[in-house]
Amino acid sequence: MPVGEQAVEIVERKGVGHPDYICDSAMDRVSVALSREYIKRFGEVLHHNIDKGLLVAGQVEKAFGGGRVLKPMELYVGDRATFSVGKTKIPVAEIAKATISDWFRENLRHVNPKRDIKIKVVLQPGSVELSDIFSRKGKVKGANDTSASVGYAPLTSTEKAVLEVERFINSPAFKLRFPETGEDVKVMGIRKGSELDITVACPLMSALIKSEKDYFKKKAEINSAITQYLSELPFKKITLNFNSLDIKGHGVSGVYLTLLGTSAEDADSGQVGRGNRVNGVISLNRPMGTEAAAGKNPVSHVGKIYTILAHRMANELYERIDGLKEVYVWLLSQIGSPINEPKQVYVRAIPGRKLDVRFLEKNVSLILGEMLSGIAAFTTELSMGEHPVC
C-alpha cells in the first residue's frame, strides 16, 4: 500500500536554523567550494570528504528586549581533503572558514560569524588507497565505498505539507511580516487517515519581544498566520500546535526565546547526517539509508552520488511511466567499481492500475540505463552544488 494511503504517517523537517541543518548545509557548501577550487587549479575534483561536521552549542543570556553572548558556538570541520599536489598547495582551511562564514551571513540574520561562532578546521590528508582512486584513468571514478542508498517518489501530501510549512515560516515574506521569528524552525507532522496534526517549534527573537505579554501576543499572531496557510492544504482536518512548551507566568524561562535565531546558541548541538534526507524531509514510513550525503566527495563517494541519484531515478520513473502510484529505487555500490556500474539496482513499483510486467521492466531498464550513462554530467552538477542535500 502506498504510504499516502496507510493509516498513519509521520514526517519531520528541520529548518534552516536547526543545528543539524546548519552542519549539513555548511559542510556541503565547503565541499562545493573545494571542488570548484580543485577544478580551477587542476581541472578535476580531488579527494576530499567534508562530512564529519560537529556544531557545539554556545551560551547566551536572554532577556525581554535583548541579551548577550556569553560563549560563542564552535563548529568543527572534519575528515579529509587534498592539501597539495606536487609543490602546489591548496589553502583548504582558509577556504573552509571563509565559506562557512559566508553561509552564516546568508542564512542566519542575527549571527555575526566573527563574534558568535568559532570555526575550527581539523581536516587531514586522505589515505593513500582512497586518494589513489583519483589518479586512475577513466571517464568516471571508482566508488570509494561499498554502500547502499534508497530513494522514492512522489512525496505524499503529508511530506509536502511538512516541507512547505517550514519553508513558509522561513521565507523572506514571512520574515518581513514577522521579524520576531528565528530561523530554527522544526516541524513534525502526523497524519491519521485524512487528519493532519502539525507541531511547529519556532523561537522568537528576544531583542524584539518586550515582555511576556508581548510574547504571547506575537505568538497568537504567528499562530494565526500559520493556521491560515495550513487551511489551504488538502486534509479533512488540520490541528496546529505552536511552541507547545510555553507556559504563562514563568517569564523568560517559560517561553521559547532566541538571541541569534538558532538553538545552537545555548541549547542544542548539531552533527552532519542527523538532519533531513536529501529530499528535505525525514519520513519515518519510508526506507532510509544511513549515509550522510552532505559534504561527501561529489565524483566518487556513492554515499552522496547514489543517495541523490536514487531519488532522481525514482522521480524520473514516476514521471515517465504512466500508471504508477509509488516508486522506490535502491542502489548498491562495490568499492573500486565504476560509479556508473552499480553492483545492484533494485526497483519496487506500486501500480495504480494493471500494468504489463514486461512493459514495465523494459521501460524501467531503459530509463535507469539512460541515467547511469549520464552520471559523469550528474557528478559535475553535484560538484557545482546544483542539487541540495537537506
User: Domains plus CATH for the chain?
Assistant: 3-15+157-255 (3.30.300.340), 19-135 (3.30.300.10), 148-154+277-383 (3.30.300.280)
Split at pLDDT 50, 70, 90, the class of 133 is low
Contacts of 39 (CB under 8 A, 6+ apart): 45, 383
Give mean pLDDT, residues 22-37. Answer: 98
pLDDT score for 355: 82
Whether the pTM exceeds 0.85: the reply is yes
Contacts of 272 (CB under 8 A, 6+ apart): 20, 23, 24, 27, 51, 52, 53, 54, 292, 294, 295
Q: Which of 127-131, 214-218, 231-235, 304-308 has the lowest mean pLDDT?
A: 127-131
Q: Which of 133-137, 292-296, 363-367 has the lowest mean pLDDT?
A: 133-137
pLDDT score for 131: 61
Nearest one of 204, 262, 271, 198 to 231, comparing CA atoms: 198
Give the amino acid at 243: N
pLDDT above 90 (res 126): no
Split at pLDDT 50, 70, 90, the class of 139 is confident
pLDDT score for 129: 57
- 188-203 in b/e form (b: 16+ CB < 10 A) is bbbbeeeebbbbbbbb
pLDDT score for 290: 87
Split at pLDDT 50, 70, 90, the class of 63 is very high
**CB 84, CB 90: distance < 8 Å:** yes
pLDDT score for 171: 98
Split at pLDDT 50, 70, 90, the class of 353 is confident
Averaged confidence pLDDT in the chain: 95
